Amino acid sequence: MAKPDPNRVLRLLPIVVGILGGTLLLVNRLLTESLTSSQARSDALGVLLSALLILTGLLWQRIQPRSPDAVDLIGQAGFELAPGLPEQLKTELAWASHILLTNTATRSLVVWHQGRTLLRRGILSPNPEVKPGPILKRVLEQQKAVCLVALDIYPGKIEFDYLPENTQGVICQPLGEGVMILGANAPRSYTRQDEVWVEAIADKLANSLSQYEHEQQPTVGGGSIASEVN
């Protein structure tokens, strides 16, 4: 689980002060019998300052605090897709990976299906080849996700050599005959909500991959992964 934000109260303070200041200005205006021009200017300035405080507080709420245990993953940022994929599947893989990289703790993502690496995105390991170890094989057999909240404490972490070497947390999400592997840059950074979000996107991808299999594209074959976007 993600650690609570210790600055949550501080980040709410501008909103509270802005609302309080605006309310007091309104009460003062209602209780004033005769309004002078100088007071009107002061009220206008006060309203402006209160609005700026509220806006600042709202902006601060959008800033996600960096976990004290977070690390900078070792590797180069990239986006790679397997050659020969139909455009519709490319688009869906690109969409799914973008959503996960921008809305969860994921910093590195790999999609492996039927012995092929279909996608690598985020911070990439020098090793592009996925060789399923005991953990991935269990995910494929049982069709149940595995979440390793702190990868360093698991002896089986050596099987994830296709992720950055200092990956802190991993989710292995089944995709029917494949697996989506997500790597985080901080331990215990995936929340239950993240896991539900990952599962929902994986279900959509699994359905698309199943349709892709039935189409049996003759141009798709083995081969090395190719870079689409840097």
Give the model confidence (pLDDT) of 179-203 as tens digits.
999 999 988 888 888 888 899 999 9
- Is the pLDDT higher at 215 or at 72? 72
Question: Stretch 148-162: mean pLDDT, rounded?
Answer: 86
pLDDT confidence tier of residue 116, bands split at 50, 70 and 90 = very high
Q: How far is Cα 2 from Cα 62, in angstroms, rounded to an integer?
A: 16
pLDDT of 41 higher than 80: no
- Is the pLDDT higher at 210 or at 60? 210
Average pLDDT in the chain: 82
Q: Supply the DSSP string of 75-109, one letter for each residue.
A: SEEEEEE-TT--HHHHHHHHHHHHHHHHHSSEEEE
- pLDDT given for residue 182 in this prediction: 96
The position carrying tokens 């969409």 is 95
- pLDDT given for residue 221 in this prediction: 45
Lowest mean per-residue pLDDT among 36-50, 54-68, 194-208:
54-68
Helix (H) or strand (E) holding 56, with range, is helix 37-61
pLDDT confidence tier of residue 222, bands split at 50, 70 and 90 = very low
pLDDT of 5 higher than 70: no
Nearest to 88 by CA among 207, 222, 230, 187: 207
% of the chain surpassing 70 pLDDT: 83
Question: Stretch 150-165: mean pLDDT, rounded?
Answer: 87
Question: Stretch 19-23: mean pLDDT, rounded?
Answer: 84
Question: Stretch 6-27: mean pLDDT, rounded?
Answer: 77
- pLDDT given for residue 63 in this prediction: 54
Please tell me whether residue 229 adopts helix, strand or coil conformation: strand
- pLDDT given for residue 42 in this prediction: 78
- pLDDT given for residue 95 in this prediction: 93
- pLDDT given for residue 66 in this prediction: 52
Is 42 in contact with 89 (CB distance < 8 Å)?
no
Q: Supply the DSSP string of 176-198, one letter for each residue.
A: SSEEEEEEESSTT---HHHHHHH
pLDDT of 229 higher than 60: no
